Chains A and B, each alone.
Chain A
Amino acid sequence: MIGLGFVYWIAGLVFAAYAIASARGRRWTNALFWGLLATSFLLGDRLGDIGNGVLVLALVGTALAKLKRPTDPVVRPEMKPLGNRLFLPALVVPAFALIGTLLLRDTRWIDPKQVTLVSLAFGVIVGLALAMVWLRPRLGEPITAGLRLMDSVSWAAVMPQLLAALGGVFAAAGVGGLMGQLLGHLIPSGSLIAAVLVYGLGMALLTMAVGNAFAAFPVMMAAVGLPLLIHAHDGNPAPIAAIGMLMGFCGTLLTPMAANFNLVPTALLELRDRYAVIRAQAPTALILLGINLLFLYWLAFPR
């Protein structure tokens, strides 16, 4: 059965190719960084937990040694008479992800839980094959072109993965329960408005701190949602949970900790202001946070 192992194998090869291309350009720190990431994808399951921990420290150490930004100038597109056919290889990727997710879920060949990622990987292979046949570039050109984009994303590429690992440490250390004790003291007893505010704003702020609403939800639900909103004020659990999560998403739009959503696009779009995407999202996020507080107050409690 084709599953994550296959996808990781492809990712390992791509990152190894980035590492080799970096080394050939004498960009040694970049070569080491992408090489370590390739090692994680290819051998991660054989390294053991401590081995992977050491790999994480090595990645962070390499990032501290300053990764080089892309230097080679943007190559002017050489227009070949391909016309709008050029869109086809690019659209193969989302099309494969879409069709694969819809059609391949119940086949025996693909792990049903990973069907989207597997289809996406196949889409990349097919798209690349099409592009190679039509455009006839030098064999190494996809990697040089990809590396330029990869180097502009740089270390931010591994930040979400590292934050997920931090979430595991938080869970093991019982941070959620502690937070609950702390917040419990903040809310005047009997005040529904105060409890709604602490729960909603807490979801947004904690999400901003840890970069992920999934990590904030169990904490705020256990701390305020369950004891106060659901039990003390007889609230309806479904909207309290669902709207709480959405207020967390408002926080995600406002924080650089959510690197894959907020920092990676500024790098990919070559924006000078690192926080440009957060600034563009902020008014929408704040208005939605306010409206969701009202939704929660109006929709979740008996009148």
Chain B
Amino acid sequence: MIALAGLAVILLGFLLRVQPLLVIVLAAFVTGLGAHMAPLDILALLGKGFNTNRYVTVIYIVLPLIGLLERHGLQDRARGLIANMRGATFGKLLAVYMLFRQITAGLGLISIAGHPQTVRPLLAPMAEAAAERDGELSDERREKVRALAAGTDNIALFFGEDIFLAISSILLMKAFLEQYGIALAPLQLSVWAIPTAITAFIVHGVRLQLIERRWRREGQR
């Protein structure tokens, strides 16, 4: 049971606002020591895991390109595109993006969009420009629009990708249940992601419309 103390370390670390990377390393050592592993073995396990999971951090190679294009006005261009579009409100824009992201993720294309690639250079400035059509944005609302742009990308990705048969989470479920003698085809699992995918689009889409309507009623603030 002492090995569960690692989870307590994570919780406590966050409550006490300890540097998160340190919290993770401490949790690893507490867990390992609790399971009677030697400190050097824990270090090796941590190093091995870090090395095999490097692909998680690869996406930052896109930043020099994005940074360069932004210095030459990419965000302004993205804003301009929306400013000239009739009827483009930020709620509609984000809902359309959500649908696009859910469908492409459902086809397994999860890396074609994301925070460094599409949200920061394109989606967030477009959403801001659409929100600005109703008048000047307060700092508070500008933050909210940007945060909603990022959140919409996450929600669409999470509740779209599981429809794809060969996505890692589906394969994980299949492999895990197989160990216990339950054989399922990926399709049997992925169809159950469809009701939630539709619900997610409705719930989030309605929320976006409500936020937009409320802001319009309150006027510029």
A residues apposed to B, CB below 8 Å: 4, 7-8, 10-11, 14-15, 17, 37, 40-41, 44-45, 47-57, 59-60, 63-64, 75, 77-80, 82-84, 86-87, 89-90, 93-95, 97-98, 101, 114, 116-117, 120-121, 124, 127-128, 131, 135, 137, 141-150, 153, 155-170, 172-175, 178-179, 182, 209-210, 213-214, 217-218, 221, 226, 230, 237-239, 241-243, 245-246, 249, 252-253, 256-257, 259-262, 264-266, 268-269, 271-273, 276-277, 279-281, 283-285, 287-288, 291-292, 295, 299
Which residues of chain A have C-beta atoms less than 8 A from B137's C-beta?
none
Tell whether, in the assembled complex, residue B1 and residue A60 are in contact, meaning their CB atoms are under 8 Å apart. Answer: no
Tell whether, in the assembled complex, residue A101 and residue B109 are in contact, meaning their CB atoms are under 8 Å apart. Answer: yes
Tell whether, in the assembled complex, residue A40 and residue B19 are in contact, meaning their CB atoms are under 8 Å apart. Answer: no
Provide the bound-state CA to CA distance between A276 and B147, in Å. Answer: 6
Which residues of chain B have C-beta atoms less than 8 A from A221's C-beta?
176-177
Which residues of chain B have C-beta atoms less than 8 A from A77's C-beta?
70-76
* Contact with A237, one of B11, B47, B177 (Cβ below 8 angstroms): B177
Tell whether, in the assembled complex, residue B35 and residue A8 are in contact, meaning their CB atoms are under 8 Å apart. Answer: no
- Shortest CB-to-CB span from B22 to chain A, Å, is 6
Number of interface residues of B (CB under 8 A): 111
Provide the bound-state CA to CA distance between A141 and B189, in Å. Answer: 47
Q: Is B62 an interface residue (CB 8 A)?
A: yes
Q: Is B54 an interface residue (CB 8 A)?
A: yes
* Contact with A56, one of B50, B74, B76, B207 (Cβ below 8 angstroms): B50
Tell whether, in the assembled complex, residue B184 and residue A237 are in contact, meaning their CB atoms are under 8 Å apart. Answer: yes
Tell whether, in the assembled complex, residue A245 and residue B22 are in contact, meaning their CB atoms are under 8 Å apart. Answer: no
Tell whether, in the assembled complex, residue A53 and residue B43 are in contact, meaning their CB atoms are under 8 Å apart. Answer: yes
B residues apposed to A, CB below 8 Å: 1, 3-4, 6-7, 10-11, 14, 19-22, 24-25, 27-28, 31-32, 34-35, 37, 40, 42-51, 53-78, 81, 104, 108-113, 115-122, 124, 143-144, 146-151, 153-155, 158-159, 162, 168-169, 172-173, 176-177, 180, 182, 184, 188-193, 195-196, 199-200, 203-204, 207
- Shortest CB-to-CB span from A189 to chain B, Å, is 21
